[in-house]
Amino acid sequence: MKKKVGIFSFTCDEGCSILLVEIFNKKLVGWLEKMDIKYFLSIKEESEVKDFDVALVEGVINTEKELKEIKKIRENSKTLIAMGACAMTGQPSGQRNLFSADQLAEAKDTLNSFPFLPKALSIKEAVKVDDEIIGCPINEGKFIEVFEKWIG
């Protein structure tokens, strides 16, 4: 049976998703025997977040809406993989977590104009993560190694 895969992007530059499209250009034909991409806004229209075998997630969780979305993805995924440095570390968006009181006061109006959480969260700070893929953007070889492990 084919694995149902979802690919999701939160606050980031989407560099991992762009590189992922390039990786798919090389590997997709062989992988299509093992998987069915059910969700990936970079290459297909939106579909329901439901019953994934593998979810690949890039980016940082910055808002309550994003936090609800990542929790829904986690609840609907057997395996969740954090993809890239943003997802793994919460940076660079998480730099605001390190602001001094003076810096926060200076940026208050800007920060308050967005529905930010009090702290930017890496994916693993928001939900349980089963595996990680390093890099910014992701390391192609590591992605292939990790992804093939989970799609069988």
Tell me what pLDDT residue 35 has: 94
Tell me what pLDDT residue 44 has: 75
Q: pLDDT tens digits for 8-53? A: 999 888 888 889 889 988 988 889 999 999 999 877 776 788 999 9
Q: Which is more confidently placed, 123 or 27?
A: 123
pTM: 0.91
Q: Domain boundaries in the chain?
A: 3-151
Tell me what pLDDT residue 7 has: 95
Domain 3-151: state its class. alpha beta
Q: How far is CA 112 from CA 66, 95, 97, 99, 118, in A?
A: 17, 16, 14, 15, 10
Tell me what pLDDT residue 113 has: 87
Q: pLDDT tens digits for 84-104? A: 999 999 988 888 899 999 998
DSSP SS3 for 126 = helix
For 78, the enclosing helix (H) or strand (E) is strand 77-83
